[in-house]
Amino acid sequence: MRKRYLSMDTLRGLAILGVLLIHVSGLYVSSSWSGLILNQLSRFAVPAFLFLSGWGLTMSGKINIDYLGYIIKQAKRLLVPYVLWSIAYWLVNFKASISIHSIIALMSGLLLGTTKYHLYYIPITFVFYIAYPIFKKIVHSNSGIVLLLLLTIVSQSIGVIGNVGWMIKGQNIFNWMFYFGFGIWMSNDFEEKLHKLENNRIWVSVVGVLSVCLLFFETKMLELNHSISPTTSMKPSVIVYSVSVILIVIAIHLTSSSLMSVGKSSYGIYLAHPMILDGIRKFEAWFGLSLNSILNLLFEFVLVVLFSVVLTKCYTECLHLCKRWSR
């Protein structure tokens, strides 16, 4: 039986809460220091998910046994809910009449993950799944993971420092490829690397603190230089910060049953939460509630977490019931 690392399940729970906090706090970053701080401290979330994807694929070994079969299975698991939610978001925001142009726009949105701001992650992840054998060969050596790191840094730097808008879009795979490769690299001789991390917890923690300082320093410098997106996840300091968070969680064997429970529903929560957040904000607008206080931010966050978890649990139960009835 394959050993289960509970810290990784905990990391998945942290990551999905981080995603929710990024999107809830996005409205507050320009009006509240606390909103900005929470937003930036949550930026490890998507990198952590990509790391877990690469790590999990390699540790399970299933993709190496039957590559095509595994890809087909993952396509059903990932793409069917993705398509359904993409269409739902498209319909909610759709204001024109049905035409060939609107259908083409929907097809483009499905391909690129643009029907809602968070959906880019799903096509990117699936592309990485397909390219897994290439990633595995690249990161077989330490020089390979360094190459991926340099490619990601260069891509992100061109975007945020050079103010090249399309370079910092979520659909740019070069902005994310290091994290997926890092997960694969970590899984190679994982027990040995885990032992080294355990013996160097203090140093890993020190680097983590320094990475937070670097994160806010770069964010401020980009803001002063009128960068098009100073708070983005696609900047070099986020790489250092994200890797530090991941390594700290692993090194200290962080475990939480609550976070693991949330992590099990992470995909459903990820797909559903913007719909719920939009609904909450429409409700607030109807009643003229303030949207510029830290208390309101936290209130929104708690509501989004609760409703997203409940909705995902209900969807999962309905799916199980349908499968039982179909037998």
Q: 190-243: per-residue pLDDT in tens?
A: 999 999 999 999 999 999 999 999 999 999 988 888 777 789 999 999 999 999
Flag whether 1 is in a domain. no
Specify if 188 maps to a domain.
yes
182 or 104: whose pLDDT is higher? 182
In this prediction, residues 7-21 reach a mean pLDDT of 97
Q: Which H/E stretch holds residue 70?
A: helix 67-93
* Paired tokens of 140: 């077989």
For the chain, how many structural domains are there in total?
1
CA-CA-CA-CA dihedral for 83, 304, 229, 109, to nearest 10: 10
| Residue 57 pLDDT > 70 | yes
CA angle, 254 then 260 then 262, to 5°:
135
The mean predicted confidence, pLDDT, of the chain is 90
Domain that holds residue 178: 6-326
The values of phi and psi at residue 46, to 5°, are -65, -45
Residue 178 DSSP SS3: helix
Q: Can you give the pTM of this predicted structure?
A: 0.93
pLDDT band, residue 286 (cuts 50/70/90):
confident
Q: What is the pLDDT of residue 323?
A: 67
Query: If DSSP codes are grouped into helix, strand and coil, which group holds residue 195?
Result: helix
Residue 134 has pLDDT above 70, yes or no: yes
Length of the chain: 327
pLDDT of residue 267: 95
Angle between helices 266-286 and 294-326 (to 10 degrees): 130
Region 248-273 average pLDDT:
95
